[in-house]
Chain A
Amino acid sequence: MIAGSRLEKVLASGQFAVTAELGPPKSGDITQLKHHAEALRNHVEAFNITDNQTAIVRTSSIACGAALIQMGLEPVIQMTVRDRNRIALQSDLLGAVALGMKNVLCLSGDHQKFGNEPGAKGVFDIDSMQLIKALKDMRDEGKFIGGESLEHPLEKIFIGAVANPFADPFEYRVDRLEKKINAGASFIQTQCIFDLERFKKWMEMVRERGLHKKVYIMGGVTPIKSLGAARYMKNNVSGIIIPDELITRLQGAKDKKEEGLKICIETIQQLKEIEGVAGVHIMAIAWEEIVPEIVERAGLYPRPAV
């Protein structure tokens, strides 16, 4: 056990872990985010709080994380390298730890051109790999990137990273996972899985190298609400693959929402069967209220006590 967060405990116990994503609002009022978190309290181990996802200005991840902690819930703080340089990232990590946060997820972040401030200067002072390594060095060596020592040892944190088996070059994606493990990642959350065949192929390569024994891999899923949403993702979101069969299946369904849910639940059930998959991360952005139903219908309720 590294940090002893609830998420880490469930993963370490060998039980299939569940996390869900919460997107902060474009306002200073986080009532709804808290409401969603409350509704999911008993259905997930922890909540990912996105960091200005798709480069849209939102309430900060750490601020929302602090609110969750006050509610007795556990956040996974997402940190992208798009908006903050190494000074700000390290400072915010210290702040997050001071407020009791234990899980951190390191990402590059979507390019600023996709957001509501396309003229912003992208920072990218360090990359996600270097962020993982920096957090590990702060935690394990008590050192900042620049080499100076922290005044006190850092409370232990559980460092996560992302993996996208659907990005290219495909054969590099396992190399990259290994590199992130070497940099210091203890858990991985993947991009949304719709192309299960490709995911299985990636997991096969992961197992060949024994990487599933070095890191907890949580498969990412997203319930699709409509045919339009599926088509939009297929054509406009890079790094996501939506197979044609999935579109056809949705087209043929009377109740698109229910079909989208079924696809999501079936995906989770298949993920449970794949050796080396340690849990699921549910990204139901703008449909958070559906998460308890997904968890229950996927046979993941009640959650284990740890």
Chain B
Amino acid sequence: MIIAERKPFAQIKEMLAPYQRICVLGCGTCVTVCMAGGQKEAEELAALIRIQRKQDRQEATVEAFTIERQCEFEFIDQVLERLKGYDAILSLACGIGVQTLVEHVPALRVMPGLNTKFMGYPVAQGVWVERCLGCGDCVLHLTEGICPITRCAKSLLNGPCGGSAEGKCEVSKELDCAWHLIHDRLASLGRLSLMAEIQPPKDWSSSHHGGPRTIVREDVKLDRGE
């Protein structure tokens, strides 16, 4: 899922300074699960903004509510009229939610309340790690389920560099060397010979390097006249 983190309050305060009627809009999917932008966080942040405005003697109406997904038009449509009643919407969705809102309803002023961090999962309560860069050309079958593109600090495709020591990456002793993990996993599965194959340069055009990516599936499109 998408993992995000709330922006520093000072930055939020500055973004919202010109506005009086403010909506803190939570999102019910990824950011709810990673405890950054669900209903609870939206309410807490709204309360914080109200206190700050009161302390600073700046008038404001601050409300909080949440929609199921900010990244789909139909969920936005359900609250469209309500949204139009605010001067500013502080979106607690990922960057996709913010942009979907603006694209769908250009009249809205939408500010990001979160910093969208990565695609990952929680390894423990309160700890999230990145596991996919969305490179567009998955290689997990070659590495038995451990992504070197994401987890190796150099995105190497042909084994660990000379900076791998005692299972850790040269970048940080906190960071596992992805290729050490892959090596051990391949060894345990009797597939170590895979490491000897020279993997050719990756085609990064399937990644962000080709510009924003689009998928069109004719089989599920609605405009086929059916």
Q: Which residues from chain A sit less than 8 Å from chain B, CB to CB?
A: 81-82, 86, 108, 110-111, 113-114, 122, 124-130, 133-134, 145, 162-164, 166-169, 172, 175-176, 178-179, 182-183, 191, 238-239
| 6 A-B contact pairs sorted by A residue (CB < 8 Å) | A125-B204, A130-B158, A130-B201, A169-B184, A239-B163, A239-B170
Does the CB pair A176–B159 fall under 8 Å? yes
Does the CB pair B163–A169 fall under 8 Å? no
Looking at the complex, which one of A127, A134, A183, A238 makes contact with B163 (CB distance below 8 Å)? A238
CA A169 to CA B162, docked complex, whole Å: 10
Does the CB pair B196–A179 fall under 8 Å? yes
Looking at the complex, which one of B159, B171, B184, B201 makes contact with A111 (CB distance below 8 Å)? B171
Does the CB pair A168–B167 fall under 8 Å? yes
CA A125 to CA B157, docked complex, whole Å: 10
Query: B138 on the interface (CB 8 Å rule)?
Result: no
Query: B102 on the interface (CB 8 Å rule)?
Result: no
Instruction: Known A-B contacts: A108-B163, A113-B171, A127-B158. Give 19 more (CB < 8 A).
Output: A82-B154, A108-B156, A124-B154, A129-B159, A130-B198, A133-B200, A134-B201, A163-B162, A167-B163, A168-B164, A169-B160, A169-B183, A172-B160, A172-B195, A176-B159, A179-B158, A183-B198, A238-B168, A239-B164
Does the CB pair B158–A168 fall under 8 Å? no
Residues of B within 8 A of A166 (CB): 165
Does the CB pair A168–B155 fall under 8 Å? no
Residues of B within 8 A of A191 (CB): 162
Residues of B within 8 A of A167 (CB): 160-165
A177 to chain B, nearest CB (A): 11
CA A163 to CA B160, docked complex, whole Å: 11
CA A239 to CA B160, docked complex, whole Å: 11
Chain B stretch 105-127: residues in CB contact (< 8 A) with chain A: none
B114 to chain A, nearest CB (A): 22
A213 to chain B, nearest CB (A): 19
Closest to A165 in B: B162
Residues of B within 8 A of A163 (CB): 162
B152 to chain A, nearest CB (A): 9
Knowing A113-B171, A239-B165, A239-B170, the reply to whether A172 touches B198 (Cβ < 8 A) is no
Residues of B within 8 A of A164 (CB): 162
Chain B stretch 180-210: residues in CB contact (< 8 A) with chain A: 180, 183-184, 192, 195-196, 198-202, 204
Does the CB pair B200–A168 fall under 8 Å? no
A238 to chain B, nearest CB (A): 4
B96 to chain A, nearest CB (A): 23
Does the CB pair B180–A169 fall under 8 Å? yes
Knowing A126-B201, A130-B200, the reply to whether A108 touches B171 (Cβ < 8 A) is no
Does the CB pair B177–A108 fall under 8 Å? no
CA A124 to CA B155, docked complex, whole Å: 7
Does the CB pair A175–B200 fall under 8 Å? no
Does the CB pair B158–A129 fall under 8 Å? yes
Does the CB pair A127–B165 fall under 8 Å? no
Knowing A111-B153, A111-B154, A124-B155, the reply to whether A182 touches B160 (Cβ < 8 A) is no
Residues of A within 8 A of B180 (CB): 168-169
Does the CB pair A168–B165 fall under 8 Å? yes
CA A168 to CA B153, docked complex, whole Å: 16
Residues of A within 8 A of B162 (CB): 108, 162-164, 167, 191, 239
Query: B218 on the interface (CB 8 Å rule)?
Result: no
Closest to A109 in B: B154
Looking at the complex, which one of A126, A162, A172, A239 makes contact with B159 (CB distance below 8 Å)? A172
Knowing A108-B162, A169-B183, the reply to whether A130 touches B171 (Cβ < 8 A) is no
Query: B56 on the interface (CB 8 Å rule)?
Result: no
Knowing A111-B154, A127-B154, A127-B157, the reply to whether A86 touches B201 (Cβ < 8 A) is yes
Closest to A85 in B: B204
Does the CB pair B198–A110 fall under 8 Å? no
Knowing A129-B158, A176-B159, the reply to whether A168 touches B198 (Cβ < 8 A) is no
Residues of A within 8 A of B183 (CB): 169, 172
Query: B219 on the interface (CB 8 Å rule)?
Result: no
A270 to chain B, nearest CB (A): 22
Residues of B within 8 A of A82 (CB): 154
Does the CB pair A145–B198 fall under 8 Å? no
